[in-house]
């Protein structure tokens, strides 16, 4: 496994011989060693990608679609094995890992469906003796930098459209969870993606990503991760004006009106909040509930949260895995302490769990009542299994509270009033709005945020645009 770098169809270790251990976050057992690649490997990967690009872009879109569909089939064929790898490296429950394999396959399917239909268009010109032909062209080599929370799907969501439009890619997965991306690279080879079109460099991020953004041949970077790193990458990308697509942090409000279908809202809240132990950019963070039902709602959330079973993701019946590392659990703890010190009331949870034989990295599913804007968890993403409940009296106040965030990725609201439904959808300042829906992610929709959550869209035909340049041909008759 230390041969985890794929450049031009050849797997190798790091030139330095350096390796990084990959640990199961549930128990700290080392499950693999990966190559600690750096600038040299990163530059070689770009050379391989640049040379493969000239042929890949000339493949017919239909041929590229056949190969991408094959990648999806292979992902589905190996679903169980891939889910086990993902759970071991990331900690999420096995059922969620299976879902993520399916989700990943769906990005390749949608890309394969759309690729043959993304031609150009002939635009009527003002001059009757002129024709304007507009055609999308692949930008060239695209750098893909992905996070640890969705170690397979985030690579798929970026690589599938990039490959579909004819780009070649250099991929850098998070060093804590690189194994799913390595598996995907192997399946891409098996599916017939030509050598050099999909390259993978594992290792610590700084040297690799700097080398890519220092290289004028890299024409786009697509990144999912923190807002802080996103800003840094944007500055670095300005050197050669590489296109930038950033899917950054979120801090989703979840508004529940008294007229909502109560049980449905509770189910949706649990599904959104505790997905991946709360380590999801779009998971609900601030529950903003109409005052007349807030006690009942908070208590219903607490009752359901108490039923969630924490443990090793691979064990039957487990719904909440570990947090990814010690810093992550320390942050959750600090947010809860801060909220309690400012008057927040714990309805359940609120502390680390000591589970036999497992790492000290499990946080009890928590419901905290009395959330208010003075608390850290009102401003910052907790990224853990904590549902915090605030109250509102009017629709206008609900909107103001929901929009009171520098982030703008996803927002949710629950109501049965059809007019309010449209008013809320329009008023929420977010890239994704779930109207009576807390799990909006799907490969055919444009995933992405506004404000400090970044820009750029992933999914559907919009995902193609991030990796395409428009050329127009002005054609004189």
Q: Of 79-87, 275-283, 311-319, 414-422, which segment contacts ligand SIN by CB under 6 A?
A: 275-283
- The answer to the question of residue 67 lying near ligand SIN (CB under 6 A) is no
Task: Rank residues 224 and 319 by Cβ distance to ligand SIN and give the closer one.
Answer: 224
Mask for 291-310, x = binds ligand SIN (CB under 6 A)? --------------------
Q: Mark the segment that binds ligand SIN (CB under 6 A) among 170-178, 254-262, 276-284, 428-436.
A: 276-284
Contacting ligand SIN (CB under 6 A), which of 280, 305, 320, 366? 280
What does the DSSP assignment read for 305-325?
A: HHT--BS-TTSTT--B---SS
Closer to ligand SIN at the Cβ: 199 or 280?
Answer: 280
Q: Is 453 in the site for ligand SIN (CB under 6 A)?
A: no
Three-state SS at 446:
coil
Nearest to 79 by CA among 180, 202, 157, 177: 180
Nearer to ligand SIN, 275 or 312 (CB): 275
Contact (Cβ atoms closer than 8 angstroms) between residue 72 and residue 108: yes
| β-pair type (362-363, 352-353) | antiparallel
Distance CA 99, CA 346 (A): 31
User: Shortest Cβ distance from residue 78 to ligand SIN (Å)?
Assistant: 21
56 vs 148, which CB is nearer to ligand SIN? 148
Determine the interface stretch with ligand SIN among 62-70, 198-206, 278-286, 330-338 (rule: CB under 6 A). Answer: 278-286
Residue of the chain from 441, 452, 453, 468 that contacts ligand SIN (CB under 6 A): 441
Is 97 one of the binding residues for ligand SIN (CB under 6 A)? no
Instruction: Show Cβ contacts of residue 368 under 8 Å, excluding neighbours closer than 6 positions.
Output: 336, 339, 340, 344, 345, 346, 347, 350, 377, 386, 387, 388, 389
Task: List, by residue number, the catalytic residues.
Answer: 247, 281
Q: Minimum CB separation from ligand SIN for residue 149, in Å?
A: 5
C-beta of residue 323 within 8 angstroms of C-beta of residue 92 = no
Shortest distance (Å) from residue 436 CB to ligand SIN: 17
3-state DSSP call for residue 396?
Answer: helix
3-state secondary structure 134-172: EEEEECCEEEEECCCCCCCHHHHHHHHHHHHHCCEEEEE
Q: Among all residues, whose Cβ is closest to ligand SIN?
A: 441
Q: Which stretch binds ligand SIN (CB under 6 A): 106-114, 277-285, 353-361, 380-388?
A: 277-285
Shortest Å distance, C-beta 38 to ligand SIN? 27
Q: Which of 32, 269 has the CB closer to ligand SIN?
A: 269
Tokens representing 382 are 């907790």
- Beta carbon of residue 157, minimum distance to ligand SIN (angstroms, whole number): 7
Count of positions on this chain that bind ligand SIN (CB under 6 A): 8
Q: Do the beta carbons of residue 246 and residue 456 sit within 8 Å?
A: yes
Closest approach of Cβ 280 to ligand SIN, in Å? 4
Q: Which residue has the tokens 């499950």?
A: 31
Q: Nearest CA to 348 among 392, 300, 282?
A: 300
**Whole-angstrom Cα distance, residue 318 to residue 309?**
5
Site for ligand SIN in 141-200 (CB under 6 A): 149-150
Closer of 36 and 96 to ligand SIN (Cβ): 96
Which residue blocks in 23-93 are alpha helix, DSSP H?
39-56, 61-77, 79-90
- DSSP string over 203-247: S-HHHHHHHHHT-TTEEEEEEES-HHHHHHHHHHHTTTT-EEEEE
**Dihedral (CA of 244, 249, 251, 254) sign:** positive
- The single residue among 282, 324, 386, 398 that binds ligand SIN, judged by CB under 6 A, is 282
Under the criterion CB under 6 A, does residue 224 sit at the interface with ligand SIN?
yes
Residues of this chain that bind ligand SIN (CB under 6 A) = 149-150, 224, 247, 280-282, 441
């Amino acid at each position: 496994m230390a041969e985890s770098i794929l450049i031009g169809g050849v797997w190798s270790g790091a030139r330095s011989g350096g390796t990084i251990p990959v640990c199961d976050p549930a128990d700290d057992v080392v499950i693999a060693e990966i190559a600690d690649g750096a600038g040299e490997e990163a530059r070689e990967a770009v050379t391989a990608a640049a040379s493969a690009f000239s042929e890949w872009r000339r493949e017919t879109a239909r041929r590229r679609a056949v190969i991408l569909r094959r990648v999806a089939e292979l992902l589905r064929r190996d679903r169980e094995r891939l889910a086990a790898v993902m759970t071991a490296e990331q900690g999420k429950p096995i059922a969620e890992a299976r879902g993520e394999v399916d989700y990943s396959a769906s990005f390749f399917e949608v890309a394969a469906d759309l690729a043959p239909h993304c031609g150009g268009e002939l635009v009527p010109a003002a001059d009757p003796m002129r024709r304007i032909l507009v055609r999308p062209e692949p930008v060239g080599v695209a750098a893909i930098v992905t996070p640890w929370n969705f170690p397979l799907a985030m690579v798929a969501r970026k690589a599938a459209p990039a490959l579909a439009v004819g780009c070649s890619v250099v991929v850098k997965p998070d060093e804590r969870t690189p194994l799913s991306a390595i598996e995907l690279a192997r399946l891409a080879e098996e599916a017939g993606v030509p050598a050099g079109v999909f390259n993978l460099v594992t290792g610590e991020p700084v040297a690799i990503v700097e080398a890519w953004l220092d290289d004028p041949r890299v024409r786009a970077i697509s990144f999912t991760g923190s807002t802080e790193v996103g800003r840094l990458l944007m500055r670095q990308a300005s050197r050669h004006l590489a296109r930038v697509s950033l899917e950054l942090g979120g801090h989703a409000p979840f508004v529940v009106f008294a007229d909502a279908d109560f049980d449905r809202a509770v189910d949706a809240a649990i599904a959104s909040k505790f997905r991946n132990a709360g380590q999801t950019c779009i998971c609900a963070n601030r529950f903003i509930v109409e005052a007349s039902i807030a006690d009942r709602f908070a208590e219903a959330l607490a009752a359901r949260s108490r039923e969630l079973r924490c443990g090793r993701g691979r064990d039957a019946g487990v719904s909440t895995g570990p947090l990814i590392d010690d810093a992550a659990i320390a942050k959750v703890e600090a947010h809860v302490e801060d909220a309690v010190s400012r008057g927040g009331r714990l309805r359940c949870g609120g502390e680390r769990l000591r589970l036999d034989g497992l790492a000290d990295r499990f946080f009890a599913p928590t419901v905290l009542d009395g959330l208010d804007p003075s608390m850290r968890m009102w401003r910052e993403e907790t990224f853990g299994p904590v549902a915090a409940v605030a109250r509102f009296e009017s629709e206008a106040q609900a909107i103001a509270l929901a929009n009171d965030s520098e982030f703008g990725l996803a927002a949710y609201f629950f109501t049965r009033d059809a007019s309010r439904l449209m008013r809320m959808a329009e008023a929420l300042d977010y890239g994704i709005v779930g109207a009576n829906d807390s799990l909006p992610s799907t490969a055919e929709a444009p995933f992405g945020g506004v404000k400090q959550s970044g820009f750029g869209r992933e999914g559907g035909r919009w995902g193609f645009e991030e990796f395409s340049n428009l050329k127009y041909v002005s054609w004189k008759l």
